[in-house]
Amino acid sequence: MKAEGVDLLGTAVGHMKEKDFMGMDREWIQRETENFHVFYREADRDFAGALIERIEAFYQDICRRAYLEPEEDGYDLYVCGTVEEFLHGTGYAKEYYQDWMVGNADSVRRRLCILAPRGKGDLSQEYQEYLIKVMLHEVTHIVFNRICPGNRCGLWLSEGTAVCLAGQLDPEHASDRDYPRLAYLAGETDPVAFADKGGYTYGGIYVRYLMELLGMERFLSVYRGECRLEELLENSFESRAIAFCKELQVRG
């Protein structure tokens, strides 16, 4: 989910200044992995630990699958304790914020934010696992943003790729009959409207099937805009994609 919010930081702020902005003098704890500087509060220690355990290996794997080397500069990752802190870190405007927005990647500022479980008052294992996948989704965005910056490749391709690679596919809740056509999703540029159209669920499914049909190398050339997708798709693409992903789910 990309930040389109107000740029509260201005444009010419340096790295340290941005950390000051998040109140680094207060009780942030910092832990380093090879490619991430992770900041969290004592109250979020367990969640931060579980996140750190997964994120580095995932990042390196996604880089490999995208035929990229990890970048030299790492990324800051903030585990925000409250919605207010999350808004602060992401630069989202309060009016823009939606309840489902719990993770964010900002490739320009090289910053990731996640709202900690206590931010929603849900400390269950299931919710923690859900949040970790949200963070893997955001990590996928920062890697694929190097292939096609911004959402130039289309929201459906960018979000679908992140959903798919982060393990967030949800074919069980996809309808065999009442699904959005790819062309309908592909025309959507507003993230909230995209979500309302089922863009995350179906975008993930369509991308997963596309990867299957094309293989990763050709999929990446679609992502770069080097080959036109229209010619690859037949009329029944969507229903075949849904059937394929449901079958994948059955096989586990």
Binding stretches for Zn ion (CB under 5 A): 1, 159, 162
Residue with tokens 């490749």, as numbered in its chain: 153
Q: Are 180 and 197 in contact (CB under 8 A)?
A: yes
Q: How far is the CB of 159 from Zn ion (least distance, A)?
A: 5
If the CB atoms of residues 41 and 155 are measured against Zn ion, the closer one turns out to be 155
Minimum Å distance from CB 9 to Zn ion?
Answer: 21
Which position's Cβ is nearest Zn ion? Answer: 1
Whose structure tokens read 């999703």? Answer: 185
- 203 by DSSP, 3-state: which? helix
Residue 159 or 238 having the CB closest to Zn ion? 159
Q: Which is nearer to Zn ion, 162 or 165 (CB)?
A: 162
Length of the chain as a residue count: 252
C-beta of 218: minimal distance to Zn ion in Å? 23
Q: Which token pair is 153?
A: 């490749």
Q: Quick one: 79 or 162, whose CB is closer to Zn ion?
A: 162
Q: Which residues of 41-79 are buried (b: 16+ CB within 10 A; e: fewer)?
A: beebeebbebbbeebbebbeebbeebeeeeeeebbbbbb
CB of residue 1 to Zn ion, shortest distance in Å:
4
